[in-house]
Structure 1
């Protein structure tokens, strides 16, 4: 499970921002059983939240926080693939002359197999400035390794990184490659163990469901989650009976396609069996007397709404994460989805029954309705806001210590917690524009 993520000097975040999934101790009765997972770690109880939501005005930093996590995940997985002269494609805060030449920093704290790890790195486009990994089993945090540029230090009494030590000693790590990635590439066991945790981070865009629709359709096609996905979509009460996958041949392509598009489809979309894959939704069909007759098939891409397509696309990742105890991070979860469907997805993650593996959901949204429906604790609600210099700030609703019966939605929209746009005089702007047009 994710305990904490921190980022500094990346895109709109100039100062260090930290998202914590540690449940606060202000109230151990509010949705404690549903929303909190209690773990026995060291000599203390570790209470972690199963979900968290981030609010904020447009361009306040919500998406940039998701992008920071995505960057860290991708860099950990692929930094060893960079060519010797390649620069690290990291973007610092660019709105002051100091930050744009300073290093960027990323760090995660997580728990896996009962052990708490803290891993992070500090980078410039031309080199890894620092890299570190700590673990904590009891009350003491132990440094496993620390890197300063091309110098590596390993804890002398810890047997981990047998292969990784040799990788560092033999200078097999480039200045732009993370040591963790290089060691895992040479089959270092603990390095691979850490990287596998990053593979459990599933980061999705709520605006581009095509990227994960393919995953969902493949789960249906292989039969791995066909029944679960069908039930998940049926629960949305849209009348759907089942979802099936149909293999089409090249001859099924529409005649009106240009040769260029036809060739592109043939090269990029045809699967290894030589077929095009098409998804079909089956609905009940009735006669004029209301009697049920034969079912009707519809092509999802052509006949379904954008919301239905997104809900179907999300079903695969959501069910997979719940089954495996992974972490799902969604940018703009509420886009094109009815608020009640968003609530149901949150309920699945907060449920002790449906989420026995303690999977976690982190998402950003503009749906203020979620603030007052009783699904979330105060420590699960976060905000992003920009300061006068254009830098994003991340903070928790818990910082305001709101009362239990406080109308969170009303107070948020009134600006009592920040994280909302400061609107100018739109009426005056329209009058000014109209006056200029009349003058012309």
Structure 2
């Protein structure tokens, strides 16, 4: 589970800022007897704030780190994308510190970069209440700790991969005998899904993956049907249909990797793969007079498609006990569906694997009593920008009372995160524009 994420000098966050997922009652490095990580780590974090306050900037690097770990030894641009300092501190390094738990070991991974590439990368592991150095790197020089348990040959192989734009994590994951603490790398691969962004150019590919997984796996199809009827969007049934692949597409082969939520299109089929001349797709049955009607998934409304793509990935995260990050979760979702969505991560009967949800939103109804607050107050954060510098503030720092209406107090500016607007001068500017237009036409 993700325990905390710290950024410093990244985009609008000039100073060190931490998103802490640990419960206030978690006062030790590891759970005590009769406790578990699941008991002590928060399942959700909701980040509120005005437009351009920095909400996206606190979650964006997690997705870039995820991709960089997978491919930085092949794609140097991934590490370069991580160095994005505040304009006032462009000569200072950018730093990320991620603490997380994987298979009962607590890890702390630190990465610092400047315009030349990686300045520092280090990993510490806590398996028995004591921090152990696994490796420490400065530029292209790396030292492995005595307790790293990485074979000497593997250490030499890792060292050969190191360059200013290649992470040690990326090199380590290619080693055949990586040692006991390789879980620090596996967490990023196994327990974190690619973040969802509103303007994500991969949305269509992700939607295709959802439809493909549901059409190929009857259990996921049943689950999708259940979620669509739960959403009360007028859908009564879902069925899979098959039709001949158009001739112009038969030269291409679509490769699905459900475990990585990736879709690849290739003109060369994988070795031994049968040629598929048929395309499966999903139809949605709607209620109505007589027998109702049927729509293909591409004919469904934008709101229905957003719900499909969002809830399916949420269920995927819940199934695998993974971390799901969503930017502007409230986009195209009704407040009731939004509450339903985030509730699943807190429901102990549904979330049995320690799945986590981090999301940004403008939906203040989540803070209101409708009839109760939808999210625990320890899971609420506010992003605020002053004089071009963002900061992240936990609601708990304001020490709200139990009887406080957080939604109302937010709108009153108590937490200082609402945009300050003024209509001054707008009427005059519009009049001047109309006058200028009139003169031009005349």
- Structure 1 residue 437, shift from structure 2 partner: 3.3
Q: Could you tell me the TM-score, scaled by structure 2's length?
A: 0.84
State the match for 2:47 in structure 1: 54
Deviations 1:49-99 (A, max 9, x none): 11110001111111122211111111111111136x997233423422xx2
Give distance in 2, aligned partners of 1:6 and 1:135. 17
SS in 2 for 1:298: strand
State the match for 2:374 in structure 1: 375
SS in 2 for 1:88: helix
Give distance in 1, aligned partners of 2:138 and 2:168. 11
- My pick for the range that moved more, 360-369 or 269-278, is 269-278
Task: Determine if the alignment matches structure 1 residue 19 to structure 2 residue 35.
Answer: no
State the match for 2:432 in structure 1: 435
Give distance in 1, aligned partners of 2:277 and 2:32. 52
Indicate if the aligned counterparts of 2:66 and 2:188 stay in contact, CA closer than 8 A.
Answer: yes
Indicate if the aligned counterparts of 2:132 and 2:147 stay in contact, CA closer than 8 A.
Answer: no
Q: Which runs of 5+ in 2 are unaligned?
A: 255-263, 270-274
Indicate if the aligned counterparts of 1:8 and 1:104 stay in contact, CA closer than 8 A.
Answer: yes
Give distance in 2, aligned partners of 1:262 and 1:49. 48
Give distance in 2, aligned partners of 1:396 and 1:308. 33
Deviations 1:184-205 (A, max 9, x none): 1123245653222112212112
State the match for 2:258 in structure 1: none
Structure 1 residues 157 and 357, CA gap change in structure 2 (3 angstroms): closer
Indicate if the aligned counterparts of 1:7 and 1:105 stay in contact, CA closer than 8 A.
Answer: yes
Q: Which runs of 5+ in 1 are unaligned?
A: 27-37, 254-260, 288-292
Task: Determine if the alignment matches structure 1 residue 93 to structure 2 residue 85.
Answer: yes
Indicate if the aligned counterparts of 1:77 and 1:195 stay in contact, CA closer than 8 A.
Answer: no
Deviations 1:210-263 (A, max 9, x none): 34212211221121411111101110112312323433435599xxxxxxx999
Alignment of 1:273-288 (within 5 A): 273-287=276-290
SS in 2 for 1:80: coil
State the match for 1:357 in structure 2: 353
- Structure 1 residue 418, shift from structure 2 partner: 1.6
Give distance in 2, aligned partners of 1:139 and 1:268. 47
Indicate if the aligned counterparts of 1:41 and 1:138 stay in contact, CA closer than 8 A.
Answer: no
Structure 1 residues 189 and 274, CA gap change in structure 2 (3 angstroms): farther
Alignment of 1:419-434 (within 5 A): 419-423=417-421, 425-434=422-431
State the match for 2:272 in structure 1: none
1:318 to 314, 317, 323: 314
Give distance in 2, aligned partners of 1:119 and 1:86. 17
Task: Determine if the alignment matches structure 1 residue 239 to structure 2 residue 231.
Answer: no
Structure 1 residues 321 and 395, CA gap change in structure 2 (3 angstroms): same
Indicate if the aligned counterparts of 2:123 and 2:134 stay in contact, CA closer than 8 A.
Answer: yes
- Structure 1 residue 374, shift from structure 2 partner: 1.9
Deviations 1:263-299 (A, max 9, x none): 9999969996244553321123433xxxxx4x53112
Deviations 1:77-136 (A, max 9, x none): 1111136x997233423422xx22322111211111111111121112422111111111
Counting matched residue pairs gives: 410
State the match for 2:133 in structure 1: 143
Give distance in 2, aligned partners of 1:274 and 1:8. 52
Structure 1 residues 71 and 268, CA gap change in structure 2 (3 angstroms): closer
State the match for 2:257 in structure 1: none
Give distance in 2, aligned partners of 1:437 and 1:336. 35
What do you get for the CA RMSD once the two structures are aligned?
3.1
Give distance in 2, aligned partners of 1:160 and 1:220. 41
Structure 1 residues 350 and 412, CA gap change in structure 2 (3 angstroms): same
2:213 to 201, 214, 219: 219
- Structure 1 residue 172, shift from structure 2 partner: 3.4
By relative contact order (CA 8 Å, sep 6+), the higher-ranking structure is 1
State the match for 1:32 in structure 2: none
Q: Could you tell me the TM-score, scaled by structure 1's length?
A: 0.84
State the match for 2:339 in structure 1: 343
State the match for 2:297 in structure 1: 300
Alignment of 1:11-410 (within 5 A): 11-25=11-25, 40=31, 47-82=40-75, 88-96=80-88, 99-160=89-150, 162-168=152-158, 171-187=160-176, 188-190=178-180, 192-199=182-189, 200-202=191-193, 203-208=195-200, 209-223=203-217, 224-251=219-246, 273-287=276-290, 293=291, 296-302=293-299, 304-372=300-368, 373-388=372-387, 390-410=388-408
Indicate if the aligned counterparts of 2:45 and 2:359 stay in contact, CA closer than 8 A.
Answer: yes
